[in-house]
Structure 1
Amino acid sequence: MYKNPKNTKQEIKLFAFYLLDIGIVGAMLFIATYVMKVVPLSGGMTIFYYVLSAAFGIFLCAKTPNHPIDRNLSILMYLMRMDNNKYHSIDIQDINIVRRDEKI
C-alpha cells in the first residue's frame, strides 16, 4: 500500500528518480525542442544539442557536497536573487585558521 508522506516537502520518488528531477530534465529537453524550431542545425548537431541539454538538466538536479539539501538549480536561483549592494565581511581569524591548516 501507499504510505502517507511525513511532511509536505517530502520528495516523491518514481522508480529510481525523483519526480522533480524528471520534471527538470523534461523541461530542459522541452526548451531544447523550442530552440531547435528557432535555430536550424544539422542532424549531428541536433543530437549533440539534445545530449548537452539533458546533461545540463542532470547538472541542475545534482546536489553539491557543501549544500546537500538544495539542488544546483536552487543554488543558481539564490545567486541570481542575491543582493549585490550588501557587503559581507570575512573574519580574518577564519582565513588564518584555513591558512595554518593548509600544507605547502
Structure 2
Amino acid sequence: MFIKWLFTFILVLSLPQVALAGQKVNSKYEGIEITVNVNQASAEELADLLTGIGMKKAQAIVDYREKHGDFESAESLVDVKGIGPALVDKNRERIQL
C-alpha cells in the first residue's frame, strides 16, 4: 500500500515537468518583446525568433527574398513555400518590415 502511495505521489510531482518538456521555451527571450525584420534577418535569426519557423522554412524565406526582393507586407510571406496564413498570424506581432 505504501509503495502505491509513494508511486502516486512521485507521479503527481513529476507531471508539471513532463508537461513542460514538450514546449520550446527559450528563456533567453522571456519577457522581451521580440521583433524581427524579415527583409534583413538571416535564416538563423528567423528560425530562432519566429514561432513555428525552423531552419528549412527560414532558409526558404531568405531564398525567396533574395530572388524576388523585399517583402512588402507580413501577408506576402505566404508566397514562400511552406508558410501559410496561420503561421503569419501566429507571428504577426514579431514580423517587422
Q: Shared fold (TM-score greater than 0.5)?
A: no
Return the structure number with greater relative CO, CA threshold 8 A, min gap 6.
Answer: 2
Structure with higher Rg: it is 1
TM-score (structure 2 length as normaliser): 0.24
TM-score w.r.t. length of structure 1: 0.22
